[in-house]
Amino acid sequence: MKQEVKKASTTKSTFDRLMKDKSFKAKFDKEYDA
């Protein structure tokens, strides 16, 4: 999971697209308590 995020955040547009994905965002928020 952490590796995925690091990879995603290297490209901001990719990361932004992921954050628009509700299931990914929920998983991310849960994982990182954001």
Tokens of 25: 């965002």
Residue 21 confidence (pLDDT): 86
Residue 29 confidence (pLDDT): 82
CB 7 within 8 Å of CB 13: no
Q: 1-34: per-residue pLDDT in tens? A: 566 666 645 678 877 887 788 888 888 888 887 5
Tokens of 30: 């849960």
Residue 28 confidence (pLDDT): 80
d(CA 6, CA 17): 14
